Copies of this chain bind each other. A is one copy, B any other.
Amino acid sequence: MPELRKDPVVGRWVIIATDRARRPSDFVAEPVRPVGTECVFCEGNEDKTPPELLAGRSPESRPNGPGWSYRVVANKFPALRIEGELEPTGEGLFDRMNGVGAHEVVIETPTHAASLATLPVEAVADVLLAFRERMVDLKKDPRFEYVLVFKNHGAAAGASLEHPHSQLIATPIIPIMVAEEMAGAARYYAMKERCVWCDIQRQERRGGRRTIVEASGFLALAPFAPRFPFETWILPTVHRAAFEESGVDELRNLAALLSGFLRRMNRVLGDPPFNFMLHTAPLRGSELESFHWHLEVIPKLTRVAGFEWGSGFFINPLPPEDAAAALRAESS
């Protein structure tokens, strides 16, 4: 019998195929392999990107020249523009405002064919520290309410360049998905006076069927009601609303867990395309007792079709218990 499961935060139902479920090995994807060997993000091509906002550099190197381990630059084709004011206006019953925001690219390594799964843990930690640094800086701009950090890996997951990179978009509005998570978590908190993600972790640790790995203050788990096969959440085990308030040591530990998780995922699924998205508190909500930041990783293995677009229901052909078991069985 298929099963309907409800996400305890946002209340979204998903359909989990439990009887005609597919096996984890059925999901092996077209592997993501770099085709090119050099691009605008490679070392030596620094003049082909906007000037760097932040970089990890050897002492003798110069800004916007070679000798870096990561670089953050403005997106050359930004979704939102940094200049100007919002100027909200109406058009009859419609509302619009200027597309003011920031859109930055984190070039994660000078090496075209590397990846977060194969870089040294220190290099992954530097990328996470760059996210934090840029969020702290963008927070100073009173026009921005939220910073979304995300990664598209592989063309099928929406990446237009194959050189390892992630992105930040600062928005003048709290995104609807974050607002829905906040509202759901606030309802839970009003009832229980506890954070829902703290409670989820406590319960999942006892059951153990959906946990994947826990180490040094972070837990990776398959959520109870995932939209996608192998969807994974990584959360700090101690309550914290805002990613940017993490300490250096914490982000090093996260880097170790994340790169280990990506290697497991790559072994089980054959280097699949994937996205990750950081869900953190709004820039003006870092003290929230009810919100708990988490990183969502979704390999791109299935197609979203009319039923999903029309209903918001998702059909997931793999129970999360099976996904977690397959990931647990691999070494990192």
Hey, which bits of chain A sit against chain B, CB under 8 A? 1-6, 8, 10-13, 15-18, 20, 77-81, 84, 86, 91-99, 146, 148, 150-152, 156-159, 167, 169, 171-173, 175-178, 180, 196, 199-200, 203, 207, 224-225, 275-279, 296, 298, 303-307, 309-313, 315
What B residues does A224 contact at CB under 8 A?
91, 94
Query: Given A2-B81, A158-B305, does the pair A312, B175 have CB atoms closer than 8 Å?
Result: yes
Other than the given A93-B199, A296-B310, 10 more pairs (CB < 8 A) read A1-B81, A3-B97, A3-B99, A4-B96, A8-B93, A10-B176, A91-B224, A175-B311, A275-B309, A277-B307
Q: Which of A86, A93, A305 has the most CB of B within 10 A?
A: A305
A302 CB, nearest partner CB in chain B, Å: 9
Determine the chain B residues whose CB is within 8 A of the CB of A176 once the complex forms.
10-13, 311-313
Complex contacts, A94 vs chain B, CB 8 Å: 5-6, 8, 203, 224-225
Per DSSP, chain A at the interface is mixed
Interface pair B98/A1, CB less than 8 Å apart: yes
**10 cross-chain CB contacts under 8 A:** A2-B80, A3-B96, A13-B176, A93-B199, A157-B303, A158-B303, A158-B304, A167-B307, A177-B311, A277-B311
Q: How far is the CA of A279 from the CA of B16 in the complex (A)?
A: 23
Contact with A278, one of B10, B80, B310 (Cβ below 8 angstroms): B310
Which 7 residue pairs are nearest across A and B when measured between Cβ atoms? A158-B305, A277-B310, A2-B99, A150-B306, A175-B311, A177-B312, A275-B306
Residues of B within 8 A of A225 (CB): 94
- Smallest CB-CB separation from A303: which chain B residue? B158
